[in-house]
């Protein structure tokens, strides 16, 4: 599994799983009907460093972004997002992407990483916890999950220094 910086030509290979994940409405606070150009701006906008996971056959099977979570005097607190093609989940790609992005964040001078809205039913909570993130708090009943009903959104935090 190669994890590398994304290039412009990668977006059309990210979009199919991006769309599938967001359309499912279970993990991100973006509109499930987000059109492709809006999605591209959300994931690859100018403030974002974007990474992809590529399998040995050259298929893009996951992606992540790294960006400041705040501005000005708090611009060294990072935010990141992660997606793995659902057809390729459960094989360590998400963990490898996360470890890569955490290392990148430290390299680029971030002091901590914050996730603003982790759906409390998301199995990814276990991944973030295993990587050292803690739950700072939970916005109760914030997220209308298509299967679980109203569930909370965790704010998760990890210091990088």
Ligand X SMILES: CC(C)(COP(=O)(O)OP(=O)(O)OC[C@H]1O[C@@H](n2cnc3c(N)ncnc32)[C@H](O)[C@@H]1OP(=O)(O)O)[C@@H](O)C(=O)NCCC(=O)NCCS
- Min separation Cβ 74 and ligand X, Å: 21
Two tokens at 71?
Answer: 């501005």
Q: Which stretch binds ligand X (CB under 6 A): 5-13, 40-48, 102-110, 125-133?
A: 125-133
Binding-site member from 1, 127, 142, 155 for ligand X (CB under 6 A)? 127
Residue nearest to ligand X (CB): 94
Q: How far apart are CA 45 and CA 104, in angstroms?
A: 18
Q: What b-and-e string marks burial along 77-114, b requiring 16 or more CB atoms within 10 Å of the CB? A: bbbbbbbbbeebbeeebbebbbebbbebbeeeebeebb
3 state DSSP class of 91: coil
Binding to ligand X by CB under 6 A, coded x per residue (else -) over 49-88, reads ---------------------------------xxx----
Q: Which residues are at the interface with ligand X (CB under 6 A)?
A: 21, 27, 82-84, 89-95, 115, 118, 122-124, 126-127, 130
């Amino acid at each position: 599994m190669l994890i590398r910086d994304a290039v412009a030509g990668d977006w059309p290979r990210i979009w199919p799983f991006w769309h599938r994940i967001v359309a499912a409405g279970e993990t991100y606070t973006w509109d499930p009907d987000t059109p492709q150009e809006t999605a591209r701006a959300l994931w690859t906008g100018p403030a974002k460093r974007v990474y992809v996971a590529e399998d040995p056959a050259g298929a893009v099977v996951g992606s992540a972004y790294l960006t400041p979570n705040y501005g000005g005097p708090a611009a060294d607190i990072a935010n990141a997002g992660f997606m793995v093609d659902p057809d390729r989940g459960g094989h360590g790609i998400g963990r490898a992407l996360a470890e890569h992005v955490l290392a990148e964040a430290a390299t680029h001078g971030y002091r901590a990483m914050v996730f603003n809205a982790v759906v409390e039913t998301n199995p990814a909570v276990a991944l973030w916890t295993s990587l050292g993130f803690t739950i700072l708090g939970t916005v109760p009943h914030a997220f209308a999950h298509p299967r679980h009903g109203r569930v909370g959104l965790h704010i998760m935090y990890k210091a990088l220094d």
